[in-house]
Amino acid sequence: MATLCKNCGHALVFDPSIQKVRCYQCGSTFFAEEVESESKKYVQDKKAISMAQVYGQDVAGAAKEYLDCYIYTCSECGGEVMITGTEVSTKCVYCGNPTVVFSRISKEECPEFIIPFAITREQALACINKEIGHGLFVPDAVKHFTPESVHGIYIPYWIVDADRSEAAIIRKKTSNGKNTTITYHGRAGRMRLKNLPVDACTMLSDESSTRLEPYDFSKMVLFDEDYLLGFYSNSSDLTYGFLTQAVDKRACQMFDETMMKSVKGGGTKTVINYRGSTAIDPDVKYALLPVWFVTFDYEDKHNTILVNGQTGKVVCGLPIRKVLFYTLLTITCIALVILFSVLFYHIIYAMMSSYARSKPRRSSSSSNNSSGKIVVGLIAAGVVMAIAGVKKIKNVIAKLKLTQSSQTFNFTKKRQE
Amino acid sequence: MNGVAIFLGILMGGSLGVGVAFLIFGSLLNRSNNHGDSVGENSRYTGGIAYSAQLDKKLHKAESQSEFLNTYYVPLQSDPVFRTPSARVVRKMPTPQAPVAQAQTAPQVSPVAVATAATGFPSSTAFPTAPAAQAVQATQAATVQAAQNYQAAQAYQAAQTAPVAPAAPTQQDYENYQHLSD
């Protein structure tokens, strides 16, 4: 159902630029807390009915991709609004009015807090254009893409306080030329975590939602359904078991990172054994956080760019101009190999000549050793740099796959426009 | 000599050239095509770790490593944070489930205090070896004893507060009844 303007009766929509609900018919603006829908009390118990109940098993079975859909009646025009199992707000496909399914945010499941959208649709698109406009290896078609859809969606999050306690053994491996030293370090302690956001929507991958951070929780306000007007939103479908798993995994990761920094010196550090546990505080907060989902097609693949609806942070891996990239890489490789080879040839030749001249006069086994170490060190440095470079390339490809994942695309696409 | 110089030059120049090229282009590609690849920094959510033990020596053997874990993990677990009631259920979750596995219901004697008292070791940076094992045993025994006492107390309390139901007649009652009726 829509919340209507007190002055003209037109549907109100939340405007992020002024942080108020606005009537686009008469121009009136109201604070979200001021507006109370008259018809809310009549429709808050009205639940969405499963599609199978409305159309029968045959129809629902025939359209497998809509099996998780429910039918809700628009309180303004009576049209059928199709929603997924956890959607809270959407738009009516017939009259375009914002629709909130009140039964899904009724007292027992009502979010406590919300961070309202601070970035408008236009600002979100501007952020994307600014971010990807200068990419050397981004295809021109992607730089000037036309968005297929732009959806502002409130994602449910659990904001958790927790304690992580752990005792661990860290192995530090340091290489110094030929010698490798391994040392073991014990660490035990406790870490307090405050306001850790955990994505409560299983349809959205944790990797995507984690990259949207950070959110500024000081801007979080008490939940009011009028903030949802004009936006899509989902309710939590995360069970307590999954929540504890997610918090434990994240806390463990954070603990290990911090703990390894306490082991002084360089080298490769690995946690080889640990005992740990995470206790979650009982007062977990349930909040809705804003995200813009912008989809576009490129070379027959769906791409979804995410924008943090509060800060404007853009999250995406973009398609690569492969021909340009690999050509430039090959040319640079060849050029650098020739350059370094010539350089090292001259250095080595000069060193060997001076060694040959000075050989009759002094024994230089230590000089030989140090030269050998330099050669091995330089080769090792080259290999390490090559591995680091390949890792970066692999990381970009992994993030591109995430942007092109059907899971994220379906999450945003299965909504009524 | 010339041949050796050429070979070494190509070997070093090749590895370094390929390495530098891959590093440069990997970084360029990452900057160009990967955006927002950062999660929330740890410092946003935590003030760091309060260490109860930091040991940088004497941990080469597997036994000493496991001893370290056992010695210092158990006292951490006995902290009041991990002793919240078993009825802990996060409100409004779709499917309330069992509480965190580490949650304890039983009141506990502080194993840190027990360990310190038994061994003389402080529960901080020093790494106790043999006496610590005894301390851990003492700790565990104290914890088990406390848990048993707590369970007994709970059972007693439940018995006191439960509504009194008529007890089923025993054999002795039946015999008494027979005797009286005779």
The residue extents of the domains of chain B are 62-84+102-159
Q: Which among A66, A87, A109 is the end of a domain?
A: A109
- The answer to whether residues A243 and A268 belong to one domain is yes
Q: What angle do CA B16, B18, B24 make, to 5 degrees?
A: 95
How far off is chain B from A299, nearest CA to CA, in Å?
A: 16
A59 pLDDT more than 80: no
| Average pLDDT score over chain B | 63
Q: Specify the pLDDT at position B120.
A: 37
Q: Does B165 touch chain A (CB under 8 A)?
A: no
Q: Does B141 touch chain A (CB under 8 A)?
A: no
B70 pLDDT more than 70: yes
- The answer to whether residues A168 and A242 belong to one domain is yes
Q: Specify the pLDDT at position B104.
A: 38
**Structure confidence at residue B103 as a pLDDT band (50, 70, 90):** very low
What is the percent of chain A with per-residue pLDDT over 90, rounded to a whole number?
Answer: 23
Which of the pair, A66 or A331, is modelled with greater confidence?
A: A331
On whether the CB atoms of residues A325 and A152 are closer than 8 A, the answer is no
- The answer to whether residues A263 and A288 belong to one domain is yes
**How many domains in chain A?**
2
Each residue's pLDDT tens digit, A223-268: 888 888 888 888 787 777 888 888 999 899 899 988 888 888 878 8
- The answer to whether residues A271 and A156 belong to one domain is yes
- The answer to whether residues A60 and A162 belong to one domain is no
Q: Specify the pLDDT at position A134.
A: 84
Residue in B with minimal Cα distance to A142:
B33
How far off is chain A from B62, nearest CA to CA, in Å?
A: 10
B117 pLDDT more than 60: no
Q: Taking CB atoms and an 8 Å cutoff, what residues of chain B touch A195? A: 45
- The answer to whether residues A309 and A280 belong to one domain is yes
Q: Specify the pLDDT at position B142.
A: 52
**Highest mean pLDDT of the ranges A69-78, A108-117, A254-263:** A254-263
Per the domain annotation, does A234 fall within a domain? yes
| Average pLDDT score over chain A | 82
Q: Specify the pLDDT at position A45.
A: 60
Q: Does B122 touch chain A (CB under 8 A)?
A: no
> Mean pLDDT across the stretch A364-381?
74
B180 pLDDT more than 70: no
> Mean pLDDT across the stretch B57-63?
80
Interface of B with A in 62-121 (CB under 8 A): 65-66, 68-70, 72-73, 76-77, 79, 81-82, 84, 88-98, 100-103
**Structure confidence at residue B88 as a pLDDT band (50, 70, 90):** very low
- The answer to whether residues A91 and A140 belong to one domain is no
A1 pLDDT more than 80: no
> Mean pLDDT across the stretch A11-36?
84
Q: Specify the pLDDT at position A122.
A: 92
- The answer to whether residues A150 and A254 belong to one domain is yes
Q: Specify the pLDDT at position B152.
A: 56
Per the domain annotation, does A72 fall within a domain? yes
Q: Specify the pLDDT at position B137.
A: 54
Q: Specify the pLDDT at position A385.
A: 93
Between chain A and chain B, how many beta carbons pairs sit less than 8 Å apart?
A: 337
Mean pLDDT is lowest, of A101-115, A164-178, A215-229, for A101-115
> Mean pLDDT across the stretch A324-351?
92
Q: Specify the pLDDT at position A339.
A: 94
- The answer to whether residues A23 and A171 belong to one domain is no
Which of the pair, A52 or B177, is modelled with greater confidence?
A: A52
B140 pLDDT more than 50: yes
Per the domain annotation, does A90 fall within a domain? yes
- The answer to whether residues A199 and A289 belong to one domain is yes
Structural tokens at position A10:
């037109």
Per the domain annotation, does A364 fall within a domain? no
> Mean pLDDT across the stretch A366-392?
83
Q: Specify the pLDDT at position A386.
A: 93
Q: Does B12 touch chain A (CB under 8 A)?
A: yes
**Structure confidence at residue B145 as a pLDDT band (50, 70, 90):** low
- The answer to whether residues A128 and A101 belong to one domain is no
Q: Specify the pLDDT at position A48.
A: 59
Q: Which of B2, B7, B23, B35 to mutate to test the interface with A (most CBs of A within 10 A)?
A: B35
Helix (H) / strand (E) element for B179: namely: helix B171-181
Per the domain annotation, does A380 fall within a domain? no
Which of the pair, B134 or A356, is modelled with greater confidence?
A: A356
Each residue's pLDDT tens digit, A103-112: 666 555 678 8
**Highest mean pLDDT of the ranges A263-267, B40-44, B161-165, B166-170:** A263-267
Q: Which among A109, A131, A146 is the end of a domain?
A: A109
Per the domain annotation, does A38 fall within a domain? yes
Which of the pair, B110 or A99, is modelled with greater confidence?
A: A99
Q: Specify the pLDDT at position B111.
A: 40
Mean pLDDT is lowest, of A44-48, A302-306, B108-112, for B108-112
Per the domain annotation, does A77 fall within a domain? yes
Give me the domain span that covers residue A52. Answer: 12-109
Q: Specify the pLDDT at position A262.
A: 87
Q: Specify the pLDDT at position B132.
A: 45
Residue in A with minimal Cα distance to B95:
A239
- The answer to whether residues A137 and A270 belong to one domain is yes
Q: Specify the pLDDT at position B115.
A: 38
